[in-house]
Structure formats: C-alpha cells, structure tokens
Structure 1
Amino acid sequence: MWWVGFETVTWTGETEPTWYETFEGEAKRGFCPTCGSRVAAIDSDIPEIGINVTALDDTSGADLLPIHASFKDNAVRWLPSVPETEHSTAG
C-alpha cells in the first residue's frame, strides 16, 4: 500500500469511512462503507491521518511521490514499484 499523511482531512461524497479500532487505544483503520477497501489509518503515536493514495481522486501531485515501501516483496505487479530511497522517519 502507498500511504500519505495529512494533518486534516475533509471527506467528500456521501459518507466518511467506517472506522474499526484495530489495536485498542493505539490504532484504528477506516474502510469504505460500500466496498470494504481500506482507505485510512489513525495511529495514536503519529499526529497525522494516513490515507491510502489509491483512494484519492488525484494522485498527480509532486508531493505524493512515495519515499518508502513496506513489504516490497509482496507488492502487486500492476502498481509501479517504489524506487530505493532513504528511509523516511514515518513508518
């Protein structure tokens, strides 16, 4: 997955994600109420909301370039691979 962090988010559309606490008091994940796709994450130790970039309408911004990939060996073939870069301080 390819995530980007935002300090604030304004949800558009009919509803916002359905939230489930995945680790009590530590993390919750937001899922599309229609299809069940994971679209967002909130972790108690990170002051941003993480949004799965594939859930965004426009991913063309220069500030949305990936800087780190987790689980690269398990990446789906149809998404472009993330080039090797220095590790970010987040995740």
Structure 2
Amino acid sequence: MWWVGFATVTWTGESEPTWYVSFEGEAKRDFCPTCGSRLAAIDSDIPEIGINVTALDDTSGIDLVPIHAPFRDKAAHWLPPVPETEHSAAG
C-alpha cells in the first residue's frame, strides 16, 4: 500500500467517503461507500490526510514520487528500489 499526505482534499464523485474511527481520539479511516475500498486515513499526530495512492485517478504528478519507504529490506524483489530517502514534513 502506498500513501501520500495532503493538507486538504477535495472529494469528487457522487458522494463523500465514509469515515470510521479505528482508534478513539487517535485515528480514523475512510472507505468508499460503494465498493468498500480503503481510501484515506487521518491520525491525530500527523497534520495531513493520508490518501491511498491507488484511489487517485492520476498518479503521474511529480509530487507523487516516493520520499520515504519503510521496510525497504522487505520490498518485493521485482519492485524498483526507492533510493535512500528523506523524511517528509509529516515526520
């Protein structure tokens, strides 16, 4: 799963996603009300909304280049490696 952080998000489509509290006072997750796909997450200690990149219509933007890859040593061998990375502004 690949996430990207945004300060604000504008949802398009027929309806807003459905939010569920996953940890009271700490985190909530967002799902498509039609198919149930996980779309987004908000955590209390991160000032951005995390969007699952596979939920985006267009992933070609330069702002979607990975800057951090946890568990790099456990990545699938067929994925192109993410070079040594910097930490995002979110931490």
Aligned to 2:42: 42
Q: How far is 1:85 from its partner?
A: 2.1
Aligned to 1:15: 15
Give the secondary-structure state (helix, strand or coil) at the position aligned to 2:63. helix
In structure 2, stretches of 5+ residues that fail to align are none
Aligned to 2:84: 85
Q: Judge which range, 38-47 or 65-74, deviates more.
A: 65-74
Larger Rg: 2
Identity of matched residues, %: 74
Give the secondary-structure state (helix, strand or coil) at the position aligned to 1:34. coil
Summarize deviations over 1:5-32 as a string: whole Å, max 9, x none: 1111110001111111111100000011
So what's the TM-score if we normalise by structure 1? 0.81
Aligned pairs, how many?
Answer: 88
Q: How far is 1:68 from its partner?
A: 2.0
So what's the TM-score if we normalise by structure 2? 0.81
Aligned to 1:25: 25
Q: Judge which range, 80-89 or 42-51, deviates more.
A: 80-89
Give the secondary-structure state (helix, strand or coil) at the position aligned to 1:25. coil
Q: Aligned-pair RMSD on alpha carbons?
A: 2.0
Amino acid at match of 2:56: L
Amino acid at match of 1:88: H
2:69/2:85 contact within 8 Å kept? no
